[in-house]
Amino acid sequence: MTKVTMTVNGISQSAETEGRTLLSAYLREGLGLTGTHIGCDTSQCGACVVHVDGVAVKSCSIFAQDVAGSRVTTIEGMANEDGSLGVVQQAFQDHHGLQCGFCTAGMVMTTSALLKGNPRPTEQEVRHGLEGNICRCTGYHNIVKAVLAASGQDAVAMAAE
Amino acid sequence: MPKDHGIGASTKRREDVRFLTGTGNYLHDITVHGQAYAVFVRSNVANGRIVSVGSDAATGMPGVLAVFTGADFTAVGGNPAGWLINSRNGEPMREPKRPVLAHGKVRHVGDAYAAVIAASYNEAKDAAQAVADASVIEELPAVVDMAKALADPTNRVHDELPDNQCFDWGWIEDNRARVDAAIKAAPHVTTLELINNRLIPNAMEPRASIGEYFPGTGDYKLTTTSQNPHLTRLLVAAFVMGIPENKLTVVAPDVGGGFGSKIYHYGEEALVLAAAKKLKRAVKWVAERSESFLTDAHGRDHVTRIELACEKDGTFIAFRTETMANVGAYLSNFATVTPTFLHGTLMAGPYKVPNVYVNVKTVFTNTAPVDAYRGAGRPEATYSLERVVDMMCRELGLDPFEVRRKNFITTDMFPYTTPVGLAYDIGNYHATLDKATQLGDVAGFEGRRAASAAKGKLRGLGLSTWIEACGIAPSNLAGILGARVGLYDAATVRVNPTGNVSVFVGAHSHGQSHETVFPQIVADKFGIPESSVEIVHGDTSKIPFGMGSYGSRSLAVCGQAMSNACDKVVAKGRKIAAHMLEVTEADIVFSDGVFTASGTNKSKTFGEIAFSAYVPHNYPLATLEPGLEETAFYDPANFTYPAGTYICEVEVDADTGRVEVASFTCADDFGNVMNPMVVRGQVHGGVVQGIGQALLEHGVYDENGQLLSGSYMDYTMPRADDVPFVTVDHSCATPCTHNTLGVKGCGEAGAIGSPPAVVNAVLDALNRAGHNIAHIDMPLTPSRVWHAMNG
């Protein structure tokens, strides 16, 4: 067991981990941040996406020890300082971009990183950008709409109704 | 102006806030003090004799607390089938015991024959591997192909059964001779053999369970990923473990999707309870995705031959189908009703066809159990019908739109009893067809086809006119047909002293938005804000009773129970108001949250009545009880029958066979709509699952019973860049006639109606391009489409 320290949602955190402990398990079990979900264990579903030093990463595909010292942001760190929903989170609620909610954390984290790199994506760029995140409930319709809305575009006009 | 609150408003979802901030409470997120971990040892062969289980290998390994094997559960019951179906000759179905852990034989890859409990997950996983390595399983020839399983029962899934058939069902047997004669005499018969491909549900949250035992009281608690906690309690307590139901609480917290796969009781739930009792500590199990692929009940998997007999002008005379339906290695709880009463009864579609006969043979194979998956039997019926109708149109050179118009049941014919036993109460199939035709701009198709052709793409348009039966009911009919459960639901409406309301419902929300939509109804009923209403679900110790959520039943059955309970509360409120206002009950009018003595200016608000109910200082107690809480059980008089038209346009790449869905248009009749935003979302999701079935998804076993599509690298889930925006309309509403909300079900429609629209569109594209291709089986992968075009 090794003590691994990193900055998570702006706070320096430490937990004892085995060498084989994945970042997803470190966050969930070591730190109790269960908002990051594990949907497949094999880096294909995207439910576990977090930001490591500002980059979207599937946290089930990286060892906790390998990101020691990094700045990590999880879904728990995405709300505004006053506790209100952040822009991406609010767009997901406004446009019904979630149903069961299990994939949602990963969708929000991926979206946030996507918009940082491409502030006004086209519909096709959004769909391509979300390709690593599986949702079984929404058919992606309202997720894509939410991402377009979060980018400040007229999502209602761009989407079918 | 759209409504901004109550019934019909697109109220934003309150549950979203916790899911968007990482504060949901899914099963994997729950930690119980002192919990140990279970990991299952699963068969890696499809059919095998268990020679020895290497439990000893785990002894002394770090953290190991116990190893369970099938021998530990021989004294308890099996997990039962929920419906008893008789064969055509009157024989009851074969129902082999489905044990908690396999004993003697393993019957599919993934069949659990041991479980290791250890202090940590990693320790349990390491020890489970050691047990697997030390176990001896003698592999036997696997039974995988249904036709072979029936033709030659030398190799059997269950040694004690004479063959691999569960039952041979006819519906309706009295129709058979008439249907046979009608087909023989018909001017035209179209025959189509097709496969309804096996699907793997893949709710994003894998199944998981925590068992707890409280030695002081002898109580058990099962926290589990369930769509119906009371049903699970009944099955695990009364049928399997022999625990009195009153000593077992089942809690289903936030559940990350179900789509049918979490209706059923699974052996893991019984195991964690038994282990918790033995070890006197909580035991938790969370499936890995590979376990979900191997052990969640799969869906569909029918092989069907359908004949459509008609006049030369396309007027339908008869449908006759023969289907082999895979039930897998064991009967999952609804495995026998799904290919029968949820399938055969829909085989008239929305058509006034006079003769229909359905034969279904269910077959045991060495594969995962197959059961209801979003749509459950109705997608299979719809696919068979809408494909054969399209094929007939091509054979006779008829317009598929006009043929459907010609054969639709018309609005003057309701209530309409079909030849396969359902009584449709109401609908307007011409209206949804016209609406979809307009929204999908069918008139502009040729222009779009030319534009696609200019890009080198083959464009096609496909049509599907679907109907389904949801909110399965009534209990008395279901009982006659073999159901071992009732099909009502229940709700308790508790008005608290300060006037806010707690509603305890038997339905379970795992994406359906009950926490938001149900308060819209209660708010309208009581004339109070939605925010004053809280929905409580998923806990057998809190809710009155309930059959859970599946079969698009939540609103049409449980929502109506809730509405009825609200009516009872208002009736009690009128008694209280009459007492307070010193008038007779008959003089009290309740409107918009106020009880008024008619003809006077005397009134009491809903809140004043509530407070009085709990502070009954001067009540005439002989005639007026304190309190304001009512329960209703609602057993519907009939199914509800949503219906609609779906139009799909595709572009096919002639060089690669790749299909792109260019547009998808839905015109649905769901009756009255409580929250349009939520209803549209349900359709979007269902349609994409149907597109997935049509183009991408396939649960494939090889001849040895190994699951070849057992991960997201092999099983193609629809992703955001596989699908377009979906146009959805629900304006052609004919309110259900037998519930007061006027609602039907919307949860499964998309998955039911969409696959044939997609496949019909692809075949349209290919045939317009000069290929003479009658049919391609789903999923229409690039390889299959390319081979169809190129031989």
| Residues B225 and B339 grouped into a single domain | no
- From the CA of B257, how many Å to the nearest CA of chain A? 5
Q: Tell me the pLDDT tens digit for each residue of A42-64.
A: 899 999 999 999 999 999 999 99
Residue B723: list chain A partners with CB under 8 A. 139-141
Q: What percent of chain B has pLDDT over 90?
A: 97
For residues B76 and B94, state if they share a domain. yes
Q: Kindly give, in sequence order, each residue whose CB lies less than 8 Å from that of residue B643, ignoring residues fewer than 6 positions away.
A: B350, B427, B429, B432, B465, B466, B467, B468, B668, B669
In a domain, B45, yes or no: yes
What is the structure's pLDDT at B496? 98
Longest Cα separation, chain B:
88
Nearest CB to B21: which of A75, A96, A134?
Answer: A75
Residue found by looking up tokens 């599907």 in the block: B464
Mean pLDDT of chain A: 96
Residues in B 121-140 with any Cβ partner in A closer than 8 A: 122
Measured in whole angstroms, the distance separating CA A36 from the mean position of its chain's CA atoms is 8
Query: What CATH number corresponds to the domain at position A38?
Result: 3.10.20.30
Q: Are B765 and B650 in contact (CB under 8 A)?
A: yes
Q: Are B261 and B206 spatial neighbours (Cβ–Cβ below 8 Å)?
A: no
What span, in angstroms and rounded, lies between the C-alpha atoms of B178 and B219?
A: 58
ipTM given for this complex: 0.98
pLDDT at residue B763, rounded to an integer: 98
pLDDT digits (tens, 9 = 90+) for B682-720: 999 999 999 999 999 999 999 999 999 999 999 999 999
The answer to whether residues A49 and A8 belong to one domain is yes
For residue B715, with 0-12 CB atoms within 10 Å meaning exposed, 13-18 middle and 19 or more buried, which class applies?
buried
Q: Residue A161's pLDDT band (boundaries 50, 70, 90)? A: low
pLDDT in tens, B128-151: 999 999 999 999 999 999 999 999
List, for residues B509-535, the tens digit of each pLDDT value.
Answer: 999 999 999 999 999 999 999 999 999
Residue type, B327: V
Q: Which residues of A touch B677 (CB under 8 A)?
A: 96
- Please indicate, yes or no, whether residues A133 and A152 belong to a single structural domain of this protein: yes
Residues pairing with B465 in the sheet: B645
Mind telling me how many Å the CA of A94 is from chain B's nearest CA? 7
Considering the domain architecture, whether residues A20 and A51 belong to the same structural domain is answered as yes
Domain ranges, residue B766 = 302-472+638-790
B625: domain CATH number? 3.30.365.10
Residues A153 and A92 occupy one common structural domain: yes
Residue type, B736: C
**What is the mean predicted confidence (pLDDT) over B427-439?**
98
Give, in degrees to the nearest 5, the angle at Cα B32 between B26 and B34.
Answer: 150
pLDDT at residue B3, rounded to an integer: 85
Backbone angles phi, psi at B482, to 5 degrees: 115, 0
Task: Give A 81-140 residues with CB within 8 A of chain B.
Answer: 85, 89, 92-94, 96, 98-105, 108, 123-124, 126-128, 130-131, 133-140
Residue A82, domain member (yes or no) = no
DSSP one-letter string for B711-723? STTTS----GGG-
Residue B1 clears pLDDT 70, i.e. is over it: no
Q: Could you say which residues from 270 to 309 on chain B have a Cβ atom under 8 Å away from some Cβ of chain A? A: 288-290
Q: What are phi and psi of B465, to 5 degrees?
A: -115, 110
Can you give the pLDDT at residue B660?
98
Q: Does A80 touch chain B (CB under 8 A)?
A: no
What Å distances lie between residue B76 and B208, B240, B241, B243, CA to CA? 22, 6, 6, 10
Instruction: Verify that B572 and B466 share a domain, yes or no.
Output: no
How many domains are there within chain B? 3
Tell me whether residue A66 is in a domain.
Answer: yes
Question: What's residue B670's pLDDT?
Answer: 98
| Cis before B172? omega within 30 | yes
Distance from CA of A134 to the nearest CA of B (A): 6
Contacts of B688 in chain A (CB under 8 A): 138-141
Residue B505: closest CA among B559, B550, B553, B556: B559
Q: A91 and A51, same structural domain? A: no
Give the distance between the most distant pair of CA atoms in chain A.
54
Facing residue for B688 by CB, picked from A36, A140, A145: A140
For B8-18, write each residue's pLDDT tens digit: 999 999 999 99
CA nearest to A132 within chain B: B719
Contacts of A89 in chain B (CB under 8 A): 20-21
Going across the sheet that includes B248-251, the strands are B64-69, B112-118, B36-42, B283-286, B208-214, B219-224, B248-251
Contacts (Cβ under 8 Å, ≥6 apart) of B134: B54, B56, B57
Is the Cβ of B75 closer than 8 Å to some Cβ of chain A?
no
pLDDT in tens, B105-133: 999 999 999 999 999 999 999 999 999 99
B689 touches chain A (CB under 8 A): yes
How much is the pLDDT for A1? 85
Domain extent at residue A26: 2-77
Q: Is B605's Cβ below 8 Å from some Cβ in A? A: no
Q: What is the pLDDT of residues B744-777, one digit of tens each?
A: 999 999 999 999 999 999 999 999 999 999 999 9
How far is it, in rounded angstroms, from Cα B663 to Cα B461?
Answer: 9
Both B697 and B657 in one domain: the answer is yes
B407: left (phi over 0), alpha (psi -120 to 50) or beta: alpha
pLDDT score, position B791:
85
**Interface residue of B121, B374, B713, B725 to substitute, partner A, most A CBs within 10 Å:** B725
Condensed to tens digits (0 to 9), the pLDDT of residues B562-596 reads: 999 999 999 999 999 999 999 999 999 999 999 99
| Same domain (yes/no): B566, B658 | no
- Between chain A and chain B, the number of residue pairs with CB atoms below 8 A apart is 188
Q: B726 and A126 in contact by Cβ < 8 A?
A: no
